[in-house]
Structure 1
Amino acid sequence: MASHRRLVKHFSRKSGPRKALLRGLMNSLVEHGRIKTTVARAKEVRRHIEKAVTLGKKGDLNSIRLLVARLANKDAALDIVKNVSPRFKDRNGGYTRVIKIGRRPGDTAEMAFLEFVDYDFKAKAAKPAFKATKEDKVAKKAVSKAKKKTAVAATKAKKTVRKIQSKSRAAMHASR
């Protein structure tokens, strides 16, 4: 398998699935600020996301339309233009970094985090805990009771179906 002068990684996919994979990874990176993927995928997505952020710096209508076409997600495109690109207005490139984190246990693929250089994982980890109010607790109990009732009804329905099936089989075997 020759790799000389190859411009893109193909990931053993045809062009449509490969484009969908890259779009999904780009949308996830824009949404979350950091994604965990294989090193090869991270390096390939990095090329595309860097161009998207540079395009988002222009902020004009044409840039937004191009981003929507490349990402197939209007929210992600607007997020690049309004939130991501302004953070890097004084930077001429190198908006992302790839941090290798070892091998995946299942197939020993080399894994990595792809994140924006200003990503603060401490702030993401220390999210304020949701304080449940009395109304929330009451609502939660009501939901759990409703779930129990539906579970009981479902098991009763299954038992009824099983009885009907067994009677039908018995009748079929008796007629033979």
Structure 2
Amino acid sequence: MRHRHGFAKLGRDTAHRLSMLRNMVSSLIEHESIETTVAKAKALRRVADRMITLGKRGDGPSRIRANGFVRGKPLVDKLFTELAARYRDRPGGYTRMMRSRYRRGDCAPMAVIELVDSPKGVIQRVPYTYAKQGLLTIGKQLGGSTP
């Protein structure tokens, strides 16, 4: 039974998984959108929302916790100034995940995860013909394409 199993292990031991999530959260804060596998995006969404909530709190202990997780002081400053101000009135759900394509080589399902209300929004809806198949276009930054 899968009861009370709160997170995906992603085929890694604890140290590797935490290191990967720290890198991914830092990249998401820096670039405001990244492309990764669907399983990693689901795990990242949970951690990124918690980091933005820490930024919204803005107190000393929250900054210490964020410093221990996010890599780099400029990213922590961005988290506590720019992102905290952007999501001041939003009670949660700071990230959006959209499936994008299947990765060439191993056919792993990929997804783009981005910060909601980002001025660098990458995710765009596709015309109706592709929308029926659940496909979407990704901006040229990620090199995605539709059939």
Q: Please confirm whether the aligned pair reaches a TM-score higher than 0.5, indicating the same fold.
A: yes
Encode CA deviations 1:11-41: one digit per residue, 9 max, x unaligned. 1111111100000000000000000001111
2: CA distance, partners of 1:33 / 1:39: 17
Aligned residue type for 1:101 = S
Identify the residue that residue 94 of structure 1 maps to in structure 2. Answer: 93
Q: Which has the larger Rg?
A: 1
Which aligned runs of 4 or more in structure 1 are off by greater than 6 angstroms? none
Long gaps (5+) in structure 1: 126-176
Shift of 1:120: 3.4
User: Kindly, what percent of the aligned residue pairs are identical?
Assistant: 36
Shift of 1:99: 0.9
1: CA distance, partners of 2:92 / 2:42: 15
- Per the normalisation by structure 1, the TM-score is 0.65
Secondary structure of the equivalent of 2:36?
strand
2: CA distance, partners of 1:117 / 1:72: 21
Which structure is higher in RCO with an 8 Å CA cutoff and minimum separation 6? Answer: 2
Count of residue pairs the alignment pairs up:
124
Identify the residue that residue 116 of structure 1 maps to in structure 2. Answer: 115
Shift of 1:105: 1.4
Please report the RMSD computed on the Cα atoms of aligned residues, expressed in angstroms. Answer: 2.0
Q: 1:120 to 1:59 in 2, by over 3 A?
A: same
2: CA distance, partners of 1:20 / 1:104: 23
Q: 1:82 to 1:122 in 2, by over 3 A?
A: closer
